[in-house]
Amino acid sequence: MGLRQDSSDTQNPVVPKPRKQFNIAIVGGGLAGLSLAIGLVQRGIPVQIYEGATEWTNAGAGLVFAKNSMAAMAKISPDIYAAFAKRSSGQGWESKKTTYMDYRDGSTDGDLITSVICANTGQESVHRTLFAKDLVALLPDGTFHMGKRLTAIDNRPDGGYTLRWANGQSTGADVVFGSDGIKSKCRQLLLGEDSPETTPKFAKEFAYRGMVPMEKAVAVLGEEFARNSMVNIGSGCLTTTYPVEKGTLLNLVACRSIGTWEHDEWVVPSSQEAVRKDFAGCGPVMQKVISMMDKPAMWALFDHPECSTFYKGRFALIGDAAHASTPHQGAGCGQAFEDALILCSLLEDEHVLSAAHVEDALEAYDAIRRPRTLKIVNTSRENGEICMKRGKDIGGDLGKIKASLDQRFHWIWHEDLDEQVQQAKAKMYEISEARPHTAVVN
């Protein structure tokens, strides 16, 4: 049995879908893994999801989404989009509803460089942890498991896998998806621990992060700058602010360029004095943003700009485990939902019945998703350079910065997701037909 499109007519269009003859384990309970799990469960595909943490944290705080990300959520499952809409915050002012971000000159009192428009949707943002908890609630009882830290994956004679956990237990699965974040153990196991692609690459910048009640933000920044999304561009630094939780909180991010990261840990405690020193010489608005950082810590920014493959056999990477990105295009997390959409669409295909067929689906997923996601990783790092007035051939020229910002997001936002699904399916059928052991013969 193999994969190919069935063009034959039928007298009875209401035919029950064949039951899938494989089960799936997802390693990592972030938004990538959760969205994939929900989509698979709702398509009748057996899945279990395993999270290494023993409890929830607020790491990462706010996340930004645009048109393509929200469309992917809805196509995976209307329930995911409903959970998102319950918590999401857009621009606070009606006049800015189609604005993605206002980019301002941080060396001044916030003079506008450009308003980047994302028609029909603008920008929406959520609190990461609260959104993730809402998604867990959409899964059947007994599907989501915490305290499962992966240590190894063994190959089984039948082509499946045995997952080994730090607590000494093990789990069997026919198919495995690694969605365990930028420090992914799955990435190490899939690419090889000695592969240079396994190690996250330092993006030569760090960030201070915070979240404050909107009332405090308004008192410090004023109505316009607090209730709407802003990026203030400085020399070697930037600040990003946007509302979350229906506008009741303001998410704060302040990034600073740095040549190397000398610490063993990625997050190290800091102080208000250090923050002020890092942003000395910036304009009044940026100074006000950093003044609200309570108990600041330095977060090193890393990414995964290269990956020779997202899969091997029936084992694949999704989300940050595959293509972790810096935050400078607000697109990294959105790509996790696109990953999940493509995988759900391939695995629910009526010809993908057994575990033997899954490898064709994963090869198609890799062919379609890897070029787009890695381009996003690399252009995000590039945009960080531009928004710190260090872009190649751009520097501090505000006219060139505006020209870049006005056009650089469109290819991300206006992706035809239905076409991407069809391309992935066509690729899967092509791969299957080329494999004699799986090809369907007329």
The SS3 assignment for 241 reads strand
What pLDDT does residue 31 have? Answer: 96
Q: Hey, which residues does 24 pair with through a beta bridge?
A: 47, 175
Tokens matching residue 177: 């998806």
Cα distances from 18 to residues 45, 111, 152, 310, 360, in angstroms, run 11, 60, 32, 28, 18
What pLDDT does residue 365 have? Answer: 98
pLDDT tens across 208-257, in order? 999 999 999 999 999 999 999 999 999 999 999 999 999 999 999 999 99
Of 375, 300, 295, nearest to 335 by C-alpha is 375
pLDDT tens across 83-134, in order? 999 999 999 999 999 999 999 999 999 999 999 999 888 899 999 999 999 9
Confidence of residue 12 (pLDDT cuts 50, 70, 90): very low
Confidence of residue 10 (pLDDT cuts 50, 70, 90): very low
pLDDT tens across 130-170, in order? 999 999 999 999 999 999 999 999 999 999 999 999 999 99
Amino acid at 331: A
Cα distances from 419 to residues 272, 297, 368, 433, in angstroms, run 49, 43, 11, 21
The SS3 assignment for 62 reads strand
Interatomic CA distance for residues 428 and 351, integer angstroms: 10
What pLDDT does residue 8 have? Answer: 36
Tokens matching residue 376: 């996003």
Mean pLDDT computed over 68-79 = 97
Of 105, 392, 413, 88, nearest to 237 by C-alpha is 105
Dihedral sign of CA atoms 66, 32, 189, 315 in order = negative
Residues taking part in catalysis: 209
Q: What percent of the chain has pLDDT over 70?
A: 94
What pLDDT does residue 220 have? Answer: 97
Q: Hey, which residues does 65 pair with through a beta bridge?
A: 124
pLDDT tens across 379-417, in order? 999 999 999 999 999 999 999 999 999 999 999 999 999
Interatomic CA distance for residues 246 and 257, integer angstroms: 31
Mean pLDDT computed over 358-369 = 97
What pLDDT does residue 436 have? Answer: 64
Question: In this structure, which long-range contacts are made by residues 272-280, counting pairs with CB atoms below 8 Å and at least 24 apart in sequence?
Answer: 272/296, 275/208, 278/208, 278/237, 278/254, 279/234, 279/237, 279/254
**Burial, 146: exposed, middle or buried (Cβ in 10 Å; 0-12, 13-18, 19+)?**
middle
On whether the CB atoms of residues 295 and 272 are closer than 8 A, the answer is no
pLDDT tens across 265-275, in order? 999 999 999 99
What pLDDT does residue 294 have? Answer: 87
Residue 299 host element (H or E): strand 297-303
Whole-prediction pTM: 0.93
* Range with the poorest average pLDDT among 50-59, 180-189, 280-289: 50-59
pLDDT at 374 over 90: yes
Q: Report the mean per-residue pLDDT for the chain.
A: 92
pLDDT at 434 over 70: yes
Mean pLDDT computed over 346-361 = 94
First-residue to last-residue Cα distance in the chain: 11
Cα distances from 145 to residues 48, 79, 179, 183, 244, in angstroms, run 8, 21, 14, 19, 28
What pLDDT does residue 26 have? Answer: 98
Interatomic CA distance for residues 181 and 317, integer angstroms: 10
